[in-house]
Amino acid sequence: MKLTFAAAITATALSTSFAFAESHSENPMVGGAPMLESRNIVENALNSADHTTLVAAVQAAGLVETLQGEGPFTVFAPTNAAFDALPDGTVEMLLMPENLAQLQTVLTCHVVATNALWGDINTMISDDGGSHTVTTVGGCEFEATMTDGVIQIIDGQGRAANVTIADVKQSNGVIHVIDSVLLPAM
């Protein structure tokens, strides 16, 4: 009787584990569009209705080819609402040709040259005692922290961006959707 009960418990645990793994093996929808792991960061971002401002900025900055490259990249991708929350005129100012270098810096401060999933970032935060320094492609140093199970990136101005959708896997890295634009220290 004990063997049968133990076997039933083991079978249930295994089927639950497989069901969990299978349900979490697919990427989440972002901006109403499926994010396909076979596509690169730019290809997927182009399909997200929540990232049209980010895509326009990446195009204006001449960074499309870079973000279509081999990687790996971890991109903290601010939503349109995050860009809308910036002071009036900020996005328009950044998109002006004479501000190209500043736009490139802001955007590359959202990119890390590695493939860091939620679990990896959580481990780094834990291993570093609650806060992990993240050095971006753009030369920014931000702090990753965890609050109530949510990863936060503290930018150069002390503002927190929450990861609202984690682990959107790409062919050349991973995207984490965030609710605030990360800005470098002034």
| CATH number of the domain to which 137 belongs | 2.30.180.10
Could you tell me the residue range of the domain that residue 174 belongs to?
A: 29-178
Number of domains in the chain: 1
Chain position carrying tokens 């929450």: 162
Would 123 be classed as within a structural domain?
Answer: yes
17 lies in some domain: no
- Inside any domain, residue 24: no
SS3 category, 166: strand
Task: Report how far residue 129's alpha carbon sits from residue 172's, in angstroms, rounded to the nearest whole number.
Answer: 30
Is 110 inside any structural domain? yes
User: Quick one: average pLDDT of 133-137?
Assistant: 96
pLDDT at 112: 96
Per-residue pLDDT tens for 67-119? 999 999 999 999 999 999 999 999 999 999 999 999 999 999 999 999 999 99
| Domain assignment present for 6 | no
Query: How do 173-178 and 73-78 pair as beta strands?
Result: parallel
The residue-averaged pLDDT of 19-26 equals: 43
